[in-house]
Amino acid sequence: MEVIMTLADKLKEARKNAGLTQVELAEKLCVSRQAITKWESGNGIPDVENLKNIAKVLDISIDFLLDDEGTLDKTIIKEQINLNDYVKEGKLRSKKDAVVYAKYPDADITPLLAKKKSSKGQKVFAELLGILTDAPFGTDEVFNQISDARNAYYLVQEEGKQIFVTVTEDFIESKVMAKEIVGNKFEIGDYKFQKANYKVKK
């Protein structure tokens, strides 16, 4: 009987084969041990940069991690853009909305609110300043304060495929998801995402 390994299984096996603990791997990747735990339990996904670093540290290929049963498909398309060529018009809320709409005009496009996970030191600093609030995860104001304002993120549904799209000042990057995201909240790498309550339309 064939045993199909997930990205989480492969990461755990490769780490053990390299003789590393979760703490040791976390130190080499400059991430938290909690991040490694989430990746190995299938509750989170390393982003592309972390995948590259994992492959290098554990002496494995990215293809091995993502082959067939990975959460991110191997299909990653990165295209250069000139943001000034796009116009915010109609119901489009930004030029970056216009970019993703131009790329996927017939698709269902959901903007994503993004929040970079805080390090332990950042959390302590925030508590000392007394700026932590009881605002629920996903509140626009909270995300706008913390997320990387240079990037915009979208989840695109097109022809039975789910595509994770990043739009920056200089390029649009599309990654086909091998496992469908069904909930409103999910994690990829060092970021938490929540689906916005509107669609990108003209």
pLDDT tens, 147-179? 456 789 999 998 888 988 999 988 898 888 877
pTM of the model: 0.54
> What number of other Cβ atoms are within 10 A of residue 55's Cβ?
18
| List of residues 6+ apart from 58 with CB closer than 8 A | 14, 15, 17, 18, 20, 25
Q: How many of the other CB atoms lie within 10 Å of CB of 117? A: 18
Residue 13 has pLDDT above 80, yes or no: yes
pLDDT of the residue at 24: 94
First-last CA distance in the chain: 50
The structural domains of the chain, ordered by start, are: 7-70 (1.10.260.40), 73-195 (no CATH)
Strands 191-195 and 185-188: antiparallel
Among 93-97, 109-113, 159-163, 190-194, the minimum mean pLDDT is found in 190-194
Which neighbouring-strand residues pair with 171? 80
Is a pLDDT exceeding 50 seen at residue 194? yes
User: In this predicted model, which residue has the larger pLDDT, 16 or 121?
Assistant: 16
Q: Tell me what the mean pLDDT of segment 7-26 comes to.
A: 89
* Residue 99 identity (one-letter amino acid): V
Instruction: Give the model's pLDDT for residue 147.
Output: 44
**Among 54, 33, 55, 36, which residue's Cα sits nearest to residue 44?**
36
